[in-house]
């Protein structure tokens, strides 16, 4: 085993929208396809399981006490993932069987918050099939706040993967300098940025983070077309009335530690994007800049991070 080389797969796929069972089947197929290529890490987009809440922008999501919004939200919650009930167990088994690590964007129906609110969570499963972190998106973006709840710092974690130290953030929280710094301070040198889709998100920030951190940065987006909305979706006619032909065009990509493209954004192509990363390039680029190491002044500026998992109620029996 060559520890400094890591073969990665970016799974740029569409969900079976708001159908968690069918979407899990697609995820499992992608894992098997990556395993056939001897990949050691596979990454899926934000909220892929069971899909991004595109209906909000298409059906007047801010309307108060709307039966349409309530029914769509309830459908979304029913198709979200409760990890404690074992709903990711089949994916964990594949990780262990094929010795492949996984970053997966899910909608999490969190039991420790009552089980009715949902969080855009990024789950890391190691190659032994163990869930090692669940990062709940700190701040849902714009209209996402109408259906997603804000997370906490518990998932600001990194993980060893061969010579690499890997961590990740969801969508626009990649623009938040302090969460990025929290991961840099833990030694992150392979940053995972997951998105719902589209190169307008990935084309600038991917290279910027790589250049700032002198790390590899993998951005993975999903795909979604008007034709991908399942026929059984509640209020489908209202959704399709205003939906463009393409809602998410992909844009998955990889930047090297010098901030240059290894894989430029890939558009409208479903499947795996596979590349091999060489850890030595991280050490080369850290020679002239390391934002939490030799090019930092902790005596002047320092970050404090609260990683306690938040819950409304604490019980003492």
Q: What is the pLDDT of residues 248-269, one digit of tens each?
A: 999 999 999 999 999 999 999 9
CB-neighbour burial class of residue 257 (10 A; exposed 0-12, middle 13-18, buried 19+)? buried
Q: Is residue 61 part of a domain?
A: yes
Question: Quick one: 275 exposed, middle or buried, by C-beta within 10 A (0-12, 13-18, 19+)?
Answer: middle
Which parts of the chain register pLDDT below 70? none
Residue 296 forms part of a structural domain = no
pTM of model > 0.95: yes
> Is residue 135 a contact partner of residue 79, using CB atoms and an 8 Å limit?
no
Picking from 129, 102, 124, the residue whose alpha carbon sits closest to that of residue 41 is: 102
Q: Please give the tally of structural domains in the chain.
A: 1
Helix axes 20-36, 89-98, angle to 10 degrees: 0
Which pLDDT score is estimated for 257? 98
How far lies 307's CA from each of 22, 153, 171, in Å? 33, 4, 20
Instruction: Measure CA 210 to chain center.
Output: 17
Q: Is residue 297 part of a domain?
A: no
- 105 falls within a domain: yes
Answer yes or no: is 293 within a domain.
Answer: no
Percent share of the chain, pLDDT over 90: 99
Q: Evaluate whether residue 306 is within a structural domain.
A: no
The string of pLDDT tens digits covering residues 193-208 is 999 999 999 999 999 9
Q: What is the pLDDT of residue 1?
A: 79
First to last CA, the chain: 50
What pLDDT shows up at residue 152?
98
Give the number of other CB atoms < 10 A from CB of residue 48. Answer: 27
> Residue 258 sits in a domain of what CATH number?
3.60.110.10
How many CB atoms sit inside 10 A of residue 309's CB? 14
Q: Which residue has the tokens 């479903």?
A: 270
Span 292-307, pLDDT tens digits:
999 999 999 999 999 9
Whether residue 48 lies inside any domain: the answer is yes
Tell me, yes or no, whether 294 lies in a domain. no
Which residue range forms the structural domain that includes residue 184? 5-286
Long-range pairs, 283-286, Cβ under 8 A, ≥24: 284/257, 285/214, 285/257, 285/258, 286/214, 286/257
Give yes or no for a contact between 140 and 157, defined as CB atoms under 8 angstroms apart. Answer: no
Q: Cα–Cα distances in Å, from 197 out to 170, 201, 249, 278, 291?
A: 12, 8, 6, 27, 29
């Amino acid at each position: 085993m060559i520890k400094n080389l890591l073969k990665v797969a970016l799974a740029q796929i569409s969900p079976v929208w708001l159908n968690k069972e069918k979407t899990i089947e697609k995820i499992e197929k992608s894992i098997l396809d990556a395993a056939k290529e001897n990949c050691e890490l596979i990454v899926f987009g934000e909220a892929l399981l069971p899909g991004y809440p595109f209906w909000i922008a298409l059906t007047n999501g801010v309307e108060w006490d709307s039966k349409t919004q309530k029914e769509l939200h309830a459908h979304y919650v029913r198709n979200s993932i409760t990890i404690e009930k074992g709903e990711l167990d089949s994916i964990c088994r594949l990780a262990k069987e094929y010795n492949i690590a996984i970053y997966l964007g899910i909608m999490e129906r969190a039991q420790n918050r009552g089980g009715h609110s949902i969080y855009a969570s990024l789950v890391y499963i190691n190659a032994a099939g163990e869930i090692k972190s669940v990062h709940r998106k700190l701040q849902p973006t714009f209209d996402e706040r109408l259906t997603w709840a804000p997370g906490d710092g518990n998932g600001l974690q990194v993980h060893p993967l061969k010579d690499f130290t890997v961590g990740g953030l969801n969508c626009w929280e990649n623009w938040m300098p302090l969460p990025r710094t929290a991961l840099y301070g833990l030694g992150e040198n392979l940053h995972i940025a997951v998105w719902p889709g589209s190169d307008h998100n990935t084309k600038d920030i991917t290279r910027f983070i790589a250049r700032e951190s002198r790390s590899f940065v993998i951005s993975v987006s999903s795909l979604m077309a008007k034709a991908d909305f399942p026929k059984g979706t509640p209020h489908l006619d209202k959704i399709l009335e205003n939906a463009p032909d393409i809602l998410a065009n992909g844009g998955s990509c990889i930047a090297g530690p010098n901030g240059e493209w290894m894989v430029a954004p890939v558009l409208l192509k479903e499947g795996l994007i596979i590349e091999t990363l060489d850890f030595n390039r991280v050490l080369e680029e850290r020679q002239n800049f390391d934002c939490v190491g030799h090019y930092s002044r902790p005596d002047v500026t320092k970050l404090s991070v609260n990683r306690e998992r938040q819950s409304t109620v604490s019980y003492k029996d």
